[in-house]
Structure 1
C-alpha cells in the first residue's frame, strides 16, 4: 500500500488534535482542583466539619496526625490540590500532578461524602452523586497518568 497524498497532512493534524485534546482535558481537570482547593483553603469551616468523623478515625490509626488540628489538615489538602491542579493546567509534570491529585482525592472523597453512613433520603443521594463525581475525576486523572 502506498501513502496517500493526504497522509502527510493527516498525521500532523491528528497529533495536533491529540495535544489540544490532552491540554483541554488536563486544563479541565486541573481547574476543578485549583478552584475547589482555593475555596476550601479560604473557607475551611464546612469541609473541616464534614471531615471531622473521618479525621478522628484516621488520627487513631496514624498517630503523628494528632499534632495537627483538623482545620490545618483540611487546608493542607486544599493547598496540595491547588498546587497540583495548577501544575496539571500548566502541563508541568502532569503525571506527577495527577498522581498527587488522586492521592488527595481519596481522603477528600471518603471524608466528605460517606453516603453509606447517611440515612436514606436526599442527603444520601447528594453524597452518593458527589462520591461518584469524584470517582469520575479520579478516572480522568488516572488517564493522565497512564496516557501522557
Structure 2
C-alpha cells in the first residue's frame, strides 16, 4: 500500500517550526562562541535578577548567558526536527524573556537610533514569542483531536 503524502498543514507546521528553530540555533551558537559581549550586555539585568533571586549569585554572568545559549541551541534543534515541540517551544519562550529584557531595554535609552533599533529588536523577539505560542497551541490542539 502506498504511503500517504504529507498533508499541507503538516508541511506548513514543520516549515514554521524549522524557521523558528533556525533563529534560536543560530543565535545560541553565536552567543556560545562569542560570550563576552552578551555577558557584558546582560550585566545590569543580571544584577537586578540577583537581587530578586539570590540563588543566581552562585553563577557568573558568563555561566548564566551560556546556559541560556545552550537552551536556545538544544531546544531549537529539537524543535527543528519536531521532537517534543510543545516542551521545546515553551522552553524557548521562557528563555526568550530574559534574553529580550537583557539585550533590548529600549525604554532605558534616550530617543534616537539606538532606542529605535532596540525597540525593533524587542518587537522582533515578541513576534518570535508569538510564533512559539502558536506552536504550543497548535500542538496541543492537534494532539487533542488526533487522540480520539
Instruction: Answer yes or no: same fold by TM over 0.5.
Output: yes
Which residue is 1:126 aligned to? 117
Aligned match of 1:110 in 94, 101, 111? Answer: 101
Would you say how many aligned residue pairs link Structure 1 and Structure 2? Answer: 136
Which residue is 1:6 aligned to? none
**Greater Rg, structure 1 or structure 2?**
1
Q: Structure 1 residue 139: deviation in Å?
A: 0.1
Which residue is 1:84 aligned to? 75
TM-score by length of 2: 0.89
* Paired residues for 1:18-37 under 5 Å: 18-37=9-28
The CA RMSD over aligned residues, in Å, is 1.1
Q: Structure 1 residue 52: deviation in Å?
A: 0.7
Cα distance in 1 between the residues matched to 2:53 and 2:137: 30
1:106-148 Cα deviation digits (max 9, x unpaired): 0100000000001111100000000000000000000000001
Stretches of structure 1 that go unaligned for 5 or more consecutive residues are 1-11
TM-score by length of 1: 0.89
Stretches of structure 2 that go unaligned for 5 or more consecutive residues are 140-148
Aligned match of 1:135 in 126, 129, 133? Answer: 126
* Paired residues for 1:18-97 under 5 Å: 18-97=9-88
* Paired residues for 1:1-20 under 5 Å: 16-20=7-11
Cα distance in 1 between the residues matched to 2:72 and 2:106: 23
